[in-house]
């Protein structure tokens, strides 16, 4: 995992003082290009890692004569935790190393460093939508979450384009679709970051519930959305290799139930209407058999008849 490599790279630099990309690659058993990208990522994120060109050069942890990770400044510690990313992307070893680093930091830095580590939640299960590019506001929102600063969003939502000031609690990366979980005068709200048209980080402090667990809050958000979106479910039988395709295509709306008697796999597929479930399955043709309910089976057969009538070859 990248989180492990970044922490291991820093610890290696602390031990040796100066390293080359080739040395990092050899120690961590990665390619030289990967090692170089990791070193450049640490440097560009604000962690005190700098290249020294020329013969005998390499990469060093600097800050005057400092090569001790416990001497990180507040902003450097935040940068490291943001770059390493959420706890869901770390191994136990990486988490342990960061925990030791936090304990070694000056007390005034610890809260912000730990907040940076909790600022982002990764939810790998998609909604079934296409992958989108990273929105331009993610870094600024991460910083606002860590520093507990209110933000004003110009947001293109269901009510049209509106401007609102919110308390950012955390960010969620859901299969490359980013969401901001925030507090508002009306309570908790979730905003899709790619619908933000403009963003201003304010100097006013953001309110945040005591003991906030962004990952737990996100689970509540998903449960609420799924309850609204997944009102109709169908059980389908498919060949084993198709299970992964269904799960990649439909995200949380496809869940494995177990093995069928004939060697196929039973999968539950959900959506908001019978028609919608049938439409999601129609593209798989005869590779999918609807076991239940009969309403979805009939709707899928009707779709097949419509397709045949519309697209049958002449004669």
How many other CB atoms are there within 10 angstroms of residue 161's CB atom?
A: 11
CATH class, domain 230-311, is alpha beta
Cβ-proximal residues to 64 (8 Å cutoff; 6+ apart), any chain: none
Which pLDDT does position 308 carry in this prediction? 83
Look-up of token digits 């019978």? 274
Kindly list the domain boundaries of the chain, sorted by start residue: 2-118, 123-212, 230-311
Same CATH topology for 123-212 and 230-311: the answer is no
Which pLDDT does position 115 carry in this prediction? 53
> In the chain, which ranges are E strands?
18-19, 49-52, 58-61, 120-123, 149-157, 160-174, 177-184, 187-192, 196-205, 232-238, 254-259, 265-271, 288-292
Residues β-bridged to residue 200: 152
Instruction: Write out the chain's pLDDT in tens, 315 residues.
Output: 555 677 677 777 776 778 888 888 888 888 888 888 888 877 766 667 778 776 667 888 765 334 345 555 555 555 555 555 554 444 555 555 555 555 554 454 445 545 544 554 555 455 444 445 677 888 788 788 877 899 999 999 888 899 999 999 888 877 668 889 999 998 989 899 989 999 999 999 999 888 777 778 888 887 777 666 657 889 999 998 888 888 878 877 788 999 988 989 999 988 878 888 888 888 888 889 999 999 999 998 898 888 888 887 876
- Note the pTM of the prediction, 2 decimals: 0.47
Q: What angle do CA 81, 172, 130 make, to 5 degrees?
A: 125
Q: Helix, strand or coil for residue 63?
A: strand
Which pLDDT does position 222 carry in this prediction? 76
The tokens for 241 are 């290799």
Residue 142 CA to its chain's centroid (Å):
13
Look-up of token digits 């004939």? 262
Q: Helix, strand or coil for residue 125?
A: coil
Which pLDDT does position 137 carry in this prediction? 84
- State the chain's maximal CA–CA distance in angstroms: 84
CA-CA distance, 98 to 93, in Å (whole number)? 9
Pairing of the two strands 18-19 and 58-61: antiparallel
Q: Which CATH number fits domain 123-212: 2.60.40, 1.10.890, 2.30.30, 2.60.120?
A: 2.30.30
The answer to whether residues 294 and 283 touch, using CB atoms and an 8 Å cutoff, is no
The tokens for 55 are 């013969």
Which pLDDT does position 295 carry in this prediction? 92
CA-CA distance, 72 to 62, in Å (whole number)? 10
Secondary structure element (H or E) that encloses residue 79, with its range: helix 74-84
What is the C-alpha radius of gyration for the chain, rounded to an integer number of angstroms? 25
CATH 1.10.10 fits 2-118, yes or no: yes
CA-CA distance, 240 to 145, in Å (whole number)? 43
Which pLDDT does position 65 carry in this prediction? 32
């Amino acid at each position: 995992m990248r989180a492990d490599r970044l922490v291991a790279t820093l610890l290696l630099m602390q031990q040796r003082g100066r390293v080359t990309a080739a040395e990092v690659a050899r120690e961590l058993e990665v390619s030289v290009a990967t090692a170089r990208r990791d070193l450049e990522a640490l440097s560009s994120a604000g962690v005190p890692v700098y290249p020294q060109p020329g013969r005998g050069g390499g990469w060093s942890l600097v800050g005057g004569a400092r090569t001790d990770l416990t001497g990180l400044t507040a902003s450097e510690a935040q940068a490291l935790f943001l770059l390493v990313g959420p706890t869901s992307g770390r191994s136990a070893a990486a988490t342990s190393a960061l925990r030791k680093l936090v304990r070694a930091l000056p007390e005034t830095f610890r809260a912000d460093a730990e907040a940076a580590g909790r600022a982002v939640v990764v939810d790998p299960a998609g909604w079934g939508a296409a992958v989108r590019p990273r929105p331009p506001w993610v870094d600024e929102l991460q910083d606002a979450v860590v520093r507990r600063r209110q933000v004003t969003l110009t947001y293109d939502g269901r009510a049209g384009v509106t401007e609102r000031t919110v308390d950012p609690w955390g960010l969620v990366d859901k299969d490359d679709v980013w969401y901001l979980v925030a507090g508002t005068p009306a309570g908790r709200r979730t905003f899709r970051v790619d619908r933000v048209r403009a963003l201003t980080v304010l100097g006013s402090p953001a309110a945040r519930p005591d003991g906030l667990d962004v990952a737990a809050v996100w689970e509540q958000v998903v449960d609420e959305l799924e309850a609204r979106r997944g009102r109709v479910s169908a059980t389908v039988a498919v060949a084993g290799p198709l299970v992964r395709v269904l799960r990649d295509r439909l995200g949380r709306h496809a869940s494995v139930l177990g093995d069928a008697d004939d060697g196929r796999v039973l999968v539950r597929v959900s959506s908001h209407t019978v028609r919608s479930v049938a439409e999601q399955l129609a593209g798989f043709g005869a590779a999918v058999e609807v076991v239940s309910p009969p309403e979805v089976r009939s709707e899928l057969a009707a779709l097949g008849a419509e397709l045949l009538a519309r697209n049958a070859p002449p004669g």
